[in-house]
Structure 1
Amino acid sequence: MREQAVELARRGFPVFRARGKYPLEEGWQDEATTDPDKVYSRWTCPVFGNDQGWNIGIATGRRLPNGLFLAAIDEDNKDGKTGAASLEMLAAIYDEPMPDTFRTRTPTAGRHHLVGTPRPIPNSVESLAPGIDVRGEGGYVIGPGSVREIGVYEIDNDADIAPAPKYLTKLAFQPKPKLEAKANIELDTTAAIERATDYLLNRAPSALEFHGGNNTTYKVFAKLREIGVSEQTAIELAAEHWNETKADPPWSIDELATICANAFKHGQNAPGSAMPENEFEAVAVKDVLRGGIEIEPVVKFDALDIPKRQWVLGTFAAKQYLSGLVSPPGVGKTTFLLMLAVAIATGRDDIVKLKVHQRGRVLLWNQEDETNELKRRLLAVMVAFDVKWSDIEDEKGKPRIVLGSGVDRRLMFAKRNAAGYVQPAPDAKAIEDYLASEQIDLAIFDPFVEMHEANENDNPEVAVVGAVFRRVAVKANCAVILAHHTRKPPAASASDAYAGNMDTARGAGSLAGVARMVATLYTIDKETGKRYGIPEDECRRYVRFDDAKANMSLVSGEPMFFRREGVVIGGEGGEEVGVLRPADLKRGKDAKTAARDDLVTDALEIMGARVAMPIGDIAKDLTGLPMYADKTAHALRLALKRAFEKKQQINENEQIGIIVQGIPGRPGATACLVRSALTSQKDSERTRNKPETSSS
Structure 2
Amino acid sequence: MGRPAGTPADRLLRAAMSAAERGWPVMPLYPRSKRAVLRDWEHRATVDPETIRHWWAAQPYNIGIATGPAGLVVLDLDDAHGQPPPEPWAAEGVAHGRDVLAVLARRAGAPPPPRTYTVATPRGGEHRYFLAPAHHHLRCTVGSLGWRVDTRASGGYVTGAGSVHNGRIYTVADPSPVAPLPEWLVTALTPPPPREPAHPHLPSRRADAYLRAIVEDEADRVAHAVVGERNTTLFKAAATLGSLVAGGELDEHTARAVLDDAAATHLGVEGFTATESARTIDSGLRHGARQPRRLRD
Equivalence for 1:162:
179
Equivalence for 1:558:
none
- Which consecutive segments of 4 or more residues in structure 1 shift more than 6 A? 199-203, 232-235, 272-275
| 1:17 paired residue among 28, 31, 47 | 28
Structure exhibiting the larger radius of gyration computed from Cα positions: 1
Structure 1 segments unaligned to the other structure (5+ residues): 46-51, 64-68, 179-189, 204-223, 243-259, 264-271, 282-696
1:117 aligns to 2:132 (yes or no): yes
Counterparts of 2:20 and 2:158, CA distance in 1: 14
- CA deviations on 1:443-475 (whole Å, 9 max, x unpaired) are xxxxxxxxxxxxxxxxxxxxxxxxxxxxxxxxx
Equivalence for 1:5:
16
The code of the aligned residue for 1:23 comes to A
Alignment of 1:435-446 (within 5 A): none
Counterparts of 2:60 and 2:280, CA distance in 1: 46
Counterparts of 1:177 and 1:27, CA distance in 2: 26
Say which structure is richer in helix.
2
Alignment of 1:340-489 (within 5 A): none
1:200 Cα deviation after fit: 10
Q: Helix, strand or coil: the match of 1:42?
A: helix
Q: Helix, strand or coil: the match of 2:68?
A: coil
| 1:53 paired residue among 51, 54, 60 | 60
Identity, in percent, stands at 29
Residue 91 to residue 3, structure 1, CA distance change in 2 (3 Å): same
Q: Helix, strand or coil: the match of 1:16?
A: strand
Residue 167 to residue 27, structure 1, CA distance change in 2 (3 Å): same
| 2:57 paired residue among 44, 57, 60 | 44
The code of the aligned residue for 2:170 comes to Y
1:280 Cα deviation after fit: 5.3
Counterparts of 1:144 and 1:199, CA distance in 2: 30
Q: Helix, strand or coil: the match of 2:69?
A: coil
1:86 aligns to 2:88 (yes or no): no
Equivalence for 2:122:
107
Residue 143 to residue 274, structure 1, CA distance change in 2 (3 Å): closer
Counterparts of 1:97 and 1:279, CA distance in 2: 48
Structure 2 segments unaligned to the other structure (5+ residues): 1-11, 86-95, 196-217, 224-229, 237-255, 288-297
The code of the aligned residue for 2:68 comes to G
Equivalence for 1:214:
none
Residue 91 to residue 199, structure 1, CA distance change in 2 (3 Å): same
The code of the aligned residue for 2:141 comes to S
Counterparts of 1:159 and 1:278, CA distance in 2: 48
1:143 aligns to 2:160 (yes or no): yes
Residue 77 to residue 275, structure 1, CA distance change in 2 (3 Å): closer
1:98 aligns to 2:113 (yes or no): yes
Tell whether the 8 Å contact from 1:201 to 1:241 is kept in structure 2 after alignment: no
Q: Helix, strand or coil: the match of 1:44?
A: helix
Tell whether the 8 Å contact from 2:116 to 2:128 is kept in structure 1 after alignment: yes
Counterparts of 1:78 and 1:58, CA distance in 2: 25
1:91 Cα deviation after fit: 1.6
Say which structure is richer in strand.
1
1:147 Cα deviation after fit: 0.8
Residue 198 to residue 280, structure 1, CA distance change in 2 (3 Å): farther
Counterparts of 1:275 and 1:152, CA distance in 2: 40
Residue 200 to residue 76, structure 1, CA distance change in 2 (3 Å): farther
- CA deviations on 1:280-300 (whole Å, 9 max, x unpaired) are 58xxxxxxxxxxxxxxxxxxx
1:41 Cα deviation after fit: 3.3
Residue 27 to residue 233, structure 1, CA distance change in 2 (3 Å): closer
Root mean square deviation, CA, Å: 4.0
With CA pairs under 8 Å and 6+ residues apart, which has the higher RCO, 1 or 2?
2
Residue 54 to residue 96, structure 1, CA distance change in 2 (3 Å): same
Residue 131 to residue 278, structure 1, CA distance change in 2 (3 Å): same
Equivalence for 2:243:
none
Residue 276 to residue 12, structure 1, CA distance change in 2 (3 Å): same
1:111 Cα deviation after fit: 1.0
TM-score, normalisation: structure 1: 0.26
1:202 Cα deviation after fit: 6.3
The code of the aligned residue for 1:35 comes to D
Counterparts of 1:99 and 1:170, CA distance in 2: 17
1:129 aligns to 2:160 (yes or no): no
1:107 Cα deviation after fit: 1.7
Q: Helix, strand or coil: the match of 2:57?
A: coil
- CA deviations on 1:569-619 (whole Å, 9 max, x unpaired) are xxxxxxxxxxxxxxxxxxxxxxxxxxxxxxxxxxxxxxxxxxxxxxxxxxx
